[in-house]
Amino acid sequence: MMAQILSGKVAAAAWKDKIKEQVSARISEGKSQPHLAAILIGNDPASSAYVRGKVRDCDEVGFQSTLIHLPETASVEEVLAEIAKLNNNPSVSGYIVQLPLPKGMDDTRILLAIDPEKDVDGFHPENVGRMALGLPTYLPATPFGVLLLLEHYQISTEGKHAVIVGRSHIVGSPMSILLGRNGKLGNATATLTHSKTPNLAEMTRQADILIAAIGKPGFINASHVKPGAIVIDVGINRVEEKLVGDVDFEGVMPFASAISPVPGGVGLMTRVGLLMNTLRAADGRG
C-alpha cells in the first residue's frame, strides 16, 4: 500500500482561491477589504520568513497587509504602544504578534493587551475559552489548518479515533479540543498524549488519525502507526539546513493510507488558517 499524499500546497491553493473569490465578492458589495497586520520583533530568520510568507499570502488573496517591524531591543512598553494603535485602528481587521518573542519579554502582558476581537491567532484566553465552549471565534491557525487539510481531502473525522502527540497551547491541546467537539470536523474520539504518556506506541497504534506535534525530527516511525492510518505531521525541525517533520516519512509511508509531507504540508495550511481568521475578522469575530 502506498499512502496518499495530503499536499498542503494543493489544499492551500484551493482554499486561497476560495478566499480570493470571497474578497472580490465583498469588495463589489462595497464591504471593507480585509486587513491583516503583523508585529515582528527582532531579526530571527525563521520568524522573519514566516511573516514574509504571511504578507505574500495577503497580496495573493487581495487582503491589505501591514508589517510593523520593531528592533530586538524594543521594550515591552514600545510593543504595547503598537498594540494599542492596532486595537484603535478601525482599518485593521486583525493582527498577530509573531512568536517567539525576544528572550525575557513578558508574553502574557502582550497577549492580554491584544483586543480579542482582533486576535486572529486565537491565542487570547478569551478566544481559547470561546473555542473550548464552541462559541464563534478565531481558531488557532495550525490546528485550524489541519482541519482545512482534512476537509480538502474529504477525510471525515466523525467516529474516528484521533491520537495527538504533543499538548502545546498552540497546537496539540487545541487540536484535541477541536477534533473531539460536537461539530463540523469534530466528533472524533480524541486522545491527547505527551512526554509522560507510558507506552506511547501502544496508544498511537490505536489511531485512525495520528497527529504529530512534538518538535523531534522523525520521532514517529512505523512502529507507532496502525496500517491504514492517516498521519498528519505538524513538526517543523531544521536538521542540517533541511526542514523535516516529526514523522519518519519514508518509514511510515508504506503503512499509512494518507500522510502529510514536511515541507509542503501543515505549514502552508497554518497560513490559510490565519487568512480565514482575518476574513472572518473583517466582519467581526461574532
- Cα(118)–Cα(138) distance, integer angstroms: 9
Our CB check for ligand NDP shows the closer of 200 and 222 to be 200
Tell me the one-letter amino acid at 22: Q
Q: Find the binder of ligand NDP among 32, 75, 91, 195 (CB under 6 A).
A: 195
Provide, rounded to whole angstroms, the least separation between the CB of residue 75 and ligand NDP.
Answer: 26
186 binds ligand NDP (CB under 6 A): no
54 binds ligand NDP (CB under 6 A): no
Residue 195: which residues within 8 A CB-CB, separation 6 or more? none
Closest CB to ligand NDP: residue number: 168
168 binds ligand NDP (CB under 6 A): yes
**DSSP states of 14-75:** HHHHHHHHHHHHHHHTTPPPPEEEEEEES--HHHHHHHHHHHHHHHHHT-EEEEEEE-TT--
267 binds ligand NDP (CB under 6 A): yes
Our CB check for ligand NDP shows the closer of 92 and 207 to be 207
Residue 23: which residues within 8 A CB-CB, separation 6 or more? 33, 34, 61, 62, 63, 279
- Cα(78)–Cα(97) distance, integer angstroms: 13
170 binds ligand NDP (CB under 6 A): yes
Is 121 tagged catalytic? yes
96 binds ligand NDP (CB under 6 A): no
172 binds ligand NDP (CB under 6 A): yes
142 binds ligand NDP (CB under 6 A): yes
**Alpha helical stretches, state H, the chain:** 8-28, 45-61, 76-88, 107-113, 125-133, 141-152, 172-180, 200-204, 249-252, 266-282
Provide, rounded to whole angstroms, the least separation between the CB of residue 27 and ligand NDP.
Answer: 29
263 binds ligand NDP (CB under 6 A): no
Applying CB under 6 A, which part among 79-87, 148-156, 174-182, 265-273 lies near ligand NDP? 265-273
Report CA torsion sign: 193, 195, 196, 199: positive
Applying CB under 6 A, which part among 11-19, 90-98, 114-122, 189-197 lies near ligand NDP? 189-197
Provide, rounded to whole angstroms, the least separation between the CB of residue 53 and ligand NDP.
Answer: 10
Our CB check for ligand NDP shows the closer of 92 and 124 to be 124
**Residues 219-248 contacting ligand NDP, CB under 6 A:** 234-237, 246
Is 16 tagged catalytic? no
**Cis peptide bond N-terminal to 71, omega within 30:** no
- Cα(111)–Cα(72) distance, integer angstroms: 18
Residue 90: which residues within 8 A CB-CB, separation 6 or more? none
Q: Which residues are catalytic?
A: 54, 98, 121
Q: Which residues bind ligand NDP (CB under 6 A)?
A: 142, 165-168, 170-172, 194-197, 200, 213-216, 234-237, 246, 266-267, 270
